[in-house]
Amino acid sequence: MLGGLGGRRMAVFWKAVAGGLLLAVCLTGWRVDGQGNGKKKVSGDSIIYLGQERNPWRPLIRTTANLTEIRSIKSTFQFRTFDPEGAIFYGDTKNGEDWFVLSLKEGFPLMQISKEDVQVSVTGGPKLNDGKWHTLDVSNRGKFVILEVDGLPGLVVGMHSKQTKEVISGQLRLALGGILTSKDKLIVEFEPQMDGCVRKGHWLNLSMPWEADADELWLCHQNIRPGSFFAGEGFTIFNTSVFQAIKDLGFRVEFWGDFTQMEGTILSMMSSQGELLAVVEANNNTNEIHFTIRKQKHILTNAMKQLRITFFENVVKVVTFLDEANAEMYTYDAPEYLTELREGRLAIGGLLGGVKDMVGSNFLRGCLEKIKIQQKDLDLDSAIKDMSASSHSCPV
């Protein structure tokens, strides 16, 4: 990780930032300690789910401390995710002029630091998006800041600055799940949403509560598996124009999962004129999947493990995979379907209600183990609107 910015000045700065970097949370669940200033107070030993719905760059919780109060230069927390990319922890001084951020990029730890006239980014160490709890330890050792993962070396960064001004007063700001500076200042760009949890944190020597902007904090599931979980409270929306539809190959959408455990709308698609083009709904009461093209409803069994729908210019082909060896194919007429689809909207987990307001209904409850569009994995974090869905994990 980080190396010396030189002398006592950097030691003091990294005492604040490296120490602040390691918050943690306890799996016993989050606790609200008080309400002051209209914001909930969250204990430092709470469990924190970072993927809660909000502005994607805005931290979920934050706190502020005086640099003169900081004595420890080491912090530790545990972290768990299947998500390959997103913000974990942020710290800054001088109201964001000097800052530090820890995130994931392609599953690997990514650290970025800006201090006076120096900017550094480094990525590496072991992949962390395996769904297991990992202990992260950040400490300042002379001119270096060290990231250890599960007791083993992760990242070592050294920095040297020509600036000589000591940072021994002022405030340190810490945040989880977002950043407090402009994203334009980042050296390496990344998507901020993180479907992950932190727990068991010992950060610096500070004991004050953290402030949460949310009225309620979502809980972390005790055990998770890969997938996208919809809690029946919201959906994700995409512009179909971001997916390249090729006339001869069509537009393909695929879902994997236990459809017998789903209830609600899995997929809905709408033209740019507001016409509902296609809807896929799971009905547990009848053990059926309802597939509607415009106003024509077709009934499929929910006893399948994979559903593939391919939209061509004049027909729609549906393949249901009952298991690896058995599949059934259906073909339905749909004149000029592909043309109307190109500039429309696509929603996963809910029924679209309008083009402009993006309201929805009949939200899905269940786990989609995998989603592919045009034969590529779909990351729900790339949606233009994301509500109440865990993008990379499902409860077991």
Quick one: average pLDDT of 97-106? 92
Distance separating alpha carbons of residues 126 and 170, to the nearest angstrom = 35
Angle 165-185-58 from CA coordinates, rounded to 5°: 110
Q: Can 40-220 and 228-395 be said to share one CATH topology?
A: yes
So what's the pLDDT on residue 10?
32
CA distances from 216 to 22, 165, 396 (A): 23, 42, 23
So what's the pLDDT on residue 191?
92
Distance separating alpha carbons of residues 199 and 222, to the nearest angstrom = 12
CB contact burial 84-105 (16+ within 10 A = b; e otherwise): bbbbbbbbbbeeeebbbbbbbb
Can you read off the two tokens belonging to residue 238? 């995409």
Distance separating alpha carbons of residues 160 and 101, to the nearest angstrom = 18
Q: pLDDT for 226-283, tens place per residue? A: 999 999 988 999 999 888 777 678 899 999 999 999 999 999 999 888 889 999 999 9
- Fold of domain 40-220: Jelly Rolls (2.60.120)
So what's the pLDDT on residue 12?
31
Give the residue carrying structure tokens 């912090």. 75
- Fold of domain 228-395: Jelly Rolls (2.60.120)
Distance separating alpha carbons of residues 282 and 19, to the nearest angstrom = 48
Q: pLDDT for 135-194, tens place per residue? A: 998 887 767 778 899 999 888 888 776 664 556 678 888 899 999 999 999 999 999 999
So what's the pLDDT on residue 356?
63
So what's the pLDDT on residue 17?
36
Position 1 pLDDT exceeds 90? no
Quick one: average pLDDT of 29-57? 69
So what's the pLDDT on residue 38?
57
Q: What is the CA radius of gyration of the chain?
A: 24
pLDDT-based confidence at 378, cuts 50/70/90? Answer: very high
User: Is the dihedral angle over the CA atoms 200, 202, 203, 207 positive or is it negative?
Assistant: positive
Nearest to 148 by CA among 22, 45, 16: 22
Can you read off the two tokens belonging to residue 32? 């609200």
DSSP H helical segments within the chain, as ranges?
7-20, 337-341
The total of other beta-carbon atoms located within 10 Å of residue 375's CB is 8
Distance separating alpha carbons of residues 186 and 203, to the nearest angstrom = 24
Phi/psi of residue 291, nearest 5 degrees: -115, 115
Distance separating alpha carbons of residues 127 and 138, to the nearest angstrom = 17
Position 365 pLDDT exceeds 90? yes
Nearest to 93 by CA among 66, 72, 74, 56: 66
**275 SS3 class:** coil
Domain ranges of the chain: 40-220, 228-395
Tell me the residue type at 297.
Answer: K
Quick one: average pLDDT of 386-392? 83
- Residue 351 belongs to what H/E stretch? strand 351-352
Phi/psi of residue 361, nearest 5 degrees: -160, 180
So what's the pLDDT on residue 166?
58
Note whether 140 and 19 are within 8 A (CB). yes
So what's the pLDDT on residue 202?
79
Tell me the residue type at 44.
Answer: G
Distance separating alpha carbons of residues 104 and 192, to the nearest angstrom = 9
